[in-house]
Amino acid sequence: MNAWLIAATVLLTGLAPCLWIAMRGSIVSALVALELASTITTLTLLLIAQGLRRDPFLDLAVVSAILSFVGALTFARFLERWV
Amino acid sequence: MNAGDVAVVVLLAIGVGSALLGAVGILAARDPYDQLHFTGPATVIGPIAIAGAVLVEEPLSSAGIKAVLVALIMIATGPILLHATARAARVRERGRWVIHRRELAAKEDPSRFSRP
Protein backbone atom coordinates (compact mmCIF):
# COMPACT_ATOMS: atom_id res chain seq x y z
CA MET A 1 0.00 0.00 0.00
CA ASN A 2 1.65 3.21 -1.16
CA ALA A 3 1.08 6.86 -0.29
CA TRP A 4 -1.49 7.30 -3.08
CA LEU A 5 -3.76 4.54 -1.82
CA ILE A 6 -3.45 5.74 1.78
CA ALA A 7 -4.41 9.26 0.62
CA ALA A 8 -7.39 7.81 -1.30
CA THR A 9 -8.57 5.93 1.81
CA VAL A 10 -8.27 9.03 4.01
CA LEU A 11 -10.06 11.14 1.40
CA LEU A 12 -12.99 8.71 1.26
CA THR A 13 -13.80 9.46 4.93
CA GLY A 14 -14.80 12.94 3.71
CA LEU A 15 -17.90 11.37 2.15
CA ALA A 16 -19.44 10.72 5.59
CA PRO A 17 -20.20 14.42 6.41
CA CYS A 18 -21.60 14.85 2.88
CA LEU A 19 -23.89 11.86 3.38
CA TRP A 20 -25.07 13.24 6.73
CA ILE A 21 -25.87 16.68 5.25
CA ALA A 22 -27.60 15.09 2.25
CA MET A 23 -29.85 13.08 4.60
CA ARG A 24 -30.56 15.69 7.30
CA GLY A 25 -30.11 19.15 5.72
CA SER A 26 -32.42 21.27 3.56
CA ILE A 27 -32.69 20.43 -0.14
CA VAL A 28 -30.21 23.16 -1.19
CA SER A 29 -27.76 22.01 1.50
CA ALA A 30 -28.10 18.51 0.08
CA LEU A 31 -27.15 19.86 -3.36
CA VAL A 32 -24.04 21.50 -1.85
CA ALA A 33 -23.16 18.19 -0.18
CA LEU A 34 -23.65 16.38 -3.51
CA GLU A 35 -21.25 18.78 -5.24
CA LEU A 36 -18.60 18.30 -2.56
CA ALA A 37 -19.10 14.52 -2.63
CA SER A 38 -18.61 14.42 -6.41
CA THR A 39 -15.41 16.47 -6.04
CA ILE A 40 -14.11 14.03 -3.42
CA THR A 41 -15.07 11.05 -5.60
CA THR A 42 -13.25 12.46 -8.63
CA LEU A 43 -10.10 13.14 -6.62
CA THR A 44 -10.29 9.64 -5.11
CA LEU A 45 -10.52 8.07 -8.59
CA LEU A 46 -7.42 10.06 -9.58
CA LEU A 47 -5.53 8.84 -6.50
CA ILE A 48 -6.59 5.18 -6.96
CA ALA A 49 -5.57 5.18 -10.65
CA GLN A 50 -2.19 6.62 -9.79
CA GLY A 51 -1.76 4.31 -6.79
CA LEU A 52 -2.47 1.17 -8.84
CA ARG A 53 -0.31 2.41 -11.77
CA ARG A 54 -3.16 1.96 -14.23
CA ASP A 55 -3.06 4.92 -16.61
CA PRO A 56 -6.34 4.07 -18.43
CA PHE A 57 -8.23 4.36 -15.12
CA LEU A 58 -7.43 8.08 -15.12
CA ASP A 59 -10.06 8.46 -17.87
CA LEU A 60 -12.67 7.61 -15.21
CA ALA A 61 -11.61 10.68 -13.21
CA VAL A 62 -11.87 12.88 -16.33
CA VAL A 63 -15.35 11.54 -17.15
CA SER A 64 -16.44 11.87 -13.51
CA ALA A 65 -15.29 15.51 -13.40
CA ILE A 66 -17.31 16.39 -16.50
CA LEU A 67 -20.44 14.39 -15.66
CA SER A 68 -20.61 15.57 -12.04
CA PHE A 69 -20.63 19.16 -13.31
CA VAL A 70 -23.47 18.46 -15.73
CA GLY A 71 -25.45 16.53 -13.10
CA ALA A 72 -25.13 19.16 -10.38
CA LEU A 73 -26.00 21.95 -12.83
CA THR A 74 -29.16 20.05 -13.83
CA PHE A 75 -30.14 19.68 -10.17
CA ALA A 76 -29.53 23.40 -9.59
CA ARG A 77 -31.76 24.41 -12.51
CA PHE A 78 -34.55 22.06 -11.42
CA LEU A 79 -34.39 23.30 -7.81
CA GLU A 80 -34.56 26.88 -9.06
CA ARG A 81 -37.63 26.45 -11.24
CA TRP A 82 -39.84 23.55 -10.43
CA VAL A 83 -39.14 21.40 -7.41
CA MET B 1 13.11 8.58 0.60
CA ASN B 2 14.34 11.28 -1.75
CA ALA B 3 13.17 14.86 -2.23
CA GLY B 4 10.62 13.84 -4.89
CA ASP B 5 8.90 11.39 -2.55
CA VAL B 6 8.74 13.99 0.21
CA ALA B 7 7.22 16.51 -2.24
CA VAL B 8 4.61 13.93 -3.33
CA VAL B 9 3.62 13.20 0.28
CA VAL B 10 3.41 16.92 1.15
CA LEU B 11 1.29 17.70 -1.93
CA LEU B 12 -1.01 14.74 -1.23
CA ALA B 13 -1.43 15.90 2.38
CA ILE B 14 -2.34 19.42 1.20
CA GLY B 15 -4.83 18.11 -1.38
CA VAL B 16 -6.50 15.58 0.93
CA GLY B 17 -6.46 18.03 3.86
CA SER B 18 -8.21 20.79 1.93
CA ALA B 19 -10.94 18.43 0.74
CA LEU B 20 -11.47 17.04 4.25
CA LEU B 21 -11.60 20.56 5.73
CA GLY B 22 -14.33 21.37 3.22
CA ALA B 23 -16.25 18.26 4.30
CA VAL B 24 -15.99 19.23 7.98
CA GLY B 25 -16.84 22.83 7.09
CA ILE B 26 -20.21 22.02 5.53
CA LEU B 27 -21.14 20.25 8.79
CA ALA B 28 -20.23 23.35 10.81
CA ALA B 29 -21.88 25.94 8.54
CA ARG B 30 -25.38 27.17 9.30
CA ASP B 31 -27.08 27.71 5.93
CA PRO B 32 -26.45 26.77 2.25
CA TYR B 33 -24.76 30.13 1.53
CA ASP B 34 -22.16 29.48 4.24
CA GLN B 35 -21.76 25.86 3.15
CA LEU B 36 -21.04 26.94 -0.43
CA HIS B 37 -17.90 28.74 0.76
CA PHE B 38 -16.40 25.48 1.97
CA THR B 39 -16.63 23.81 -1.44
CA GLY B 40 -14.09 26.34 -2.78
CA PRO B 41 -10.86 24.89 -1.32
CA ALA B 42 -11.93 21.33 -2.20
CA THR B 43 -12.50 22.21 -5.89
CA VAL B 44 -9.44 24.45 -6.34
CA ILE B 45 -6.62 23.57 -3.91
CA GLY B 46 -7.33 19.81 -3.90
CA PRO B 47 -7.06 19.18 -7.68
CA ILE B 48 -4.05 21.50 -8.04
CA ALA B 49 -2.14 19.77 -5.23
CA ILE B 50 -2.97 16.24 -6.42
CA ALA B 51 -2.17 17.07 -10.07
CA GLY B 52 1.09 18.58 -8.81
CA ALA B 53 1.87 15.35 -6.95
CA VAL B 54 1.25 13.29 -10.12
CA LEU B 55 3.48 15.66 -12.11
CA VAL B 56 6.28 15.39 -9.54
CA GLU B 57 6.21 11.58 -9.76
CA GLU B 58 5.76 11.30 -13.55
CA PRO B 59 6.64 14.61 -15.21
CA LEU B 60 6.11 13.69 -18.85
CA SER B 61 3.46 11.02 -19.15
CA SER B 62 -0.18 10.53 -20.06
CA ALA B 63 -0.97 10.28 -16.34
CA GLY B 64 0.41 13.75 -15.71
CA ILE B 65 -1.51 15.25 -18.64
CA LYS B 66 -4.78 13.64 -17.54
CA ALA B 67 -4.30 14.79 -13.94
CA VAL B 68 -3.74 18.36 -15.15
CA LEU B 69 -6.84 18.01 -17.36
CA VAL B 70 -8.95 16.92 -14.38
CA ALA B 71 -7.61 19.85 -12.34
CA LEU B 72 -8.38 22.32 -15.14
CA ILE B 73 -11.92 20.96 -15.58
CA MET B 74 -12.60 21.21 -11.84
CA ILE B 75 -11.14 24.72 -11.54
CA ALA B 76 -13.19 25.90 -14.54
CA THR B 77 -16.49 24.28 -13.52
CA GLY B 78 -16.31 24.87 -9.74
CA PRO B 79 -17.19 28.61 -9.73
CA ILE B 80 -19.94 28.08 -12.34
CA LEU B 81 -21.53 25.43 -10.15
CA LEU B 82 -21.13 27.59 -7.05
CA HIS B 83 -22.90 30.49 -8.71
CA ALA B 84 -25.69 28.29 -10.07
CA THR B 85 -26.29 26.76 -6.64
CA ALA B 86 -26.32 30.15 -4.90
CA ARG B 87 -28.74 31.42 -7.52
CA ALA B 88 -31.02 28.42 -7.02
CA ALA B 89 -30.95 28.94 -3.24
CA ARG B 90 -31.86 32.63 -3.55
CA VAL B 91 -34.59 32.10 -6.14
CA ARG B 92 -36.16 29.42 -3.93
CA GLU B 93 -35.97 31.72 -0.92
CA ARG B 94 -37.04 35.07 -2.44
CA GLY B 95 -38.74 34.07 -5.69
CA ARG B 96 -36.39 36.14 -7.85
CA TRP B 97 -32.68 36.64 -8.52
CA VAL B 98 -32.54 40.44 -8.93
CA ILE B 99 -32.51 42.56 -5.79
CA HIS B 100 -35.72 44.50 -5.13
CA ARG B 101 -35.78 48.25 -4.32
CA ARG B 102 -37.52 47.53 -1.02
CA GLU B 103 -34.75 45.07 -0.03
CA LEU B 104 -32.10 47.72 -0.65
CA ALA B 105 -34.03 50.27 1.43
CA ALA B 106 -34.41 47.79 4.27
CA LYS B 107 -30.67 47.15 4.20
CA GLU B 108 -29.87 50.85 4.43
CA ASP B 109 -32.41 51.65 7.14
CA PRO B 110 -33.60 48.48 8.93
CA SER B 111 -35.78 50.42 11.42
CA ARG B 112 -38.25 51.49 8.73
CA PHE B 113 -39.10 47.95 7.80
CA SER B 114 -38.64 46.17 11.12
CA ARG B 115 -41.58 44.22 12.45
CA PRO B 116 -43.11 45.36 15.75
From the number of C-beta atoms within 10 Å of its C-beta (0-12, 13-18, 19+), residue B72 rates as middle
Predicted confidence (pLDDT) per residue in B45-76, tens digit: 999 999 999 999 988 888 899 999 999 999 99
| pLDDT tens-place values along chain A, 83 residues long | 899 999 999 999 999 999 999 999 899 999 999 999 999 999 999 999 999 998 889 999 999 999 999 999 999 999 888 76
Nearest chain A residue to B29, by CA: A29
Continuous H helices in B3-61? 3-28, 32-57
Among the partner-chain residues B26, B62, B91, the one whose CB lies closest to the CB of A36 is B26
- Residue numbers in A near B62 (CB within 8 A): 55, 58
Q: Domain ranges in chain B?
A: 3-113
Residue B17 predicted with pLDDT over 80: yes
The whole-number pLDDT of residue B112 equals 66
Chain B contact present for A15, CB below 8 A = yes
ipTM score assigned to the predicted complex: 0.89
Beta-carbon contacts below 8 Å between A and B? 137
Q: Which of B24, B42, B85 sits opposite A39 (nearest CB)?
A: B42
| Residue among A58, A39, A33, A70 nearest B67 (CA) | A58
Closest-CA distance of chain A to residue B85, Å? 6
Stronger pLDDT, B18 or B99, i.e. the higher one: B18
- What are the residue boundaries of the structural domains of chain A, listed by start? 3-81
Give the residue on B whose Cα is nearest the Cα of A8. Answer: B16
